[in-house]
Amino acid sequence: MKRIGMLTSGGDCQALNATMRGVVKGLHTMMGDVEIYGFEDGYKGLIYGKYRRMTGRDFSGILTRGGTILGTSRQPFKKMRTPDENGLDKVEAMKSTYKYLGLDCLVVLGGNGSQKSAHMLSEEGLNVVSLPKTIDNDLYGTDMTFGFQSAVDIATQAIDCIHTTAASHNRVFVVELMGHKVGWVTLHAGIAGGADIILIPEIPYNLNHVISAIQRRSEQGKGFTILAVAEGAISKEDAALSKKDYKAKLAGRKHSTVGYELASQIEAATGHEVRVTIPGHTQRGGSPVPFDRVISSRLGVTAAELIKNEDYGKMVIMKGYEIDTIPLAETAGKLKYVSPEDPIIRQAKNLGISFGD
């Protein structure tokens, strides 16, 4: 009988439960009896030995349930080898918990930092299989992460709802969406929601070009403009600064977010009324959309196949609409950015969408 540990780490998303369900149902179907140990609150549970024995019943009825039944926490990879406040060696503690339970494999569901920690544990001799979780869709090596499409749907709904009030009042609306380092959510939601301007971290914007796009719409008799703006969007001027200088500028900025900063600048330059909407963590909440339920089930059962075959040190990925795997070493520490040369950018521009560049 195999003993499997499982944890969810980093930010939550809508399809974590659906993916864990896929793993467990796949294990029970292919291997019969297995012992499942769920670690509470991510790597913290593995470090401090907080876990519970779970049965198939725990994973029943959670396909449509958002969040994670195991809880999660953020444990920065760069601090994993730093002892805690009591001097505990976190890496050795995780290895000790794994060995104490006699685990055959640890299943990690997480994003970039979580995958780096998973790879580290694999290099430390633990059998690890990982699954690509993040609403940002920024994990290198996979075309799609579970949680992304659900987040895009919510972000798109926010833009959809803004359309009617923007048109009614002839206002400019800034919808600030999640995406600190990468802009996949904002890009997809902006296109799906019919945004007129999309600003993402990978394409620094020129404020004058943003203002020109708004004025051009006014000249065409279009009384409103909607901007889909990633929280990490940055101007060309700021992108040219050093990290130190940029942090200093942010510290002195009048407004707390890029959305409000832009709104203030646009109002001053155009005289238009500008309103800001920030859906925030609603983008992580609610039930997973059907697409995410399907790919989560497929990714999860593929992880179970890896465990059955004792094929460890892999992350399950999507290539196109096919499921595949790659070594953890190929993805750990790498982000998948939106390329300004990506065909989707060209296509969006040919729709008349401005990226402020």
Positions marked catalytic: 136
b/e per residue, 174-197, with b = 16+ CB within 10 A?
A: bbbbbbeebbbbbbbbbbbbebbb
- The tokens describing 330, both together, are 């190929």
Q: Is residue 260 packed enough to be buried (19+ CB in 10 Å), middle (13-18) or exposed (0-12)? A: middle
CA dihedral 140, 66, 323, 23 (to 10 degrees): 110
Residue 254, phi-psi category: left (phi > 0), alpha (psi -120 to 50), beta (remainder)? alpha
Per the CB < 8 A criterion, the answer to whether 9 and 108 are in contact is yes
**SS3 assignment, position 238:** helix
Per the CB < 8 A criterion, the answer to whether 135 and 30 are in contact is no
Spatial separation of the C-alpha atoms in residues 166 and 175, rounded to whole Å: 11
Say what angle helices 184-193 and 343-350 make with each other, to 10 degrees. 30
Which runs of consecutive H residues, i.e. helices, occur in the chain?
16-31, 43-48, 90-100, 112-123, 148-169, 184-193, 207-219, 236-239, 243-251, 258-270, 290-308, 328-331, 343-350
Per the CB < 8 A criterion, the answer to whether 228 and 199 are in contact is yes
Spatial separation of the C-alpha atoms in residues 196 and 226, rounded to whole Å: 5
Residue 26, phi-psi category: left (phi > 0), alpha (psi -120 to 50), beta (remainder)? alpha
Spatial separation of the C-alpha atoms in residues 229 and 183, rounded to whole Å: 9
Per the CB < 8 A criterion, the answer to whether 74 and 11 are in contact is yes
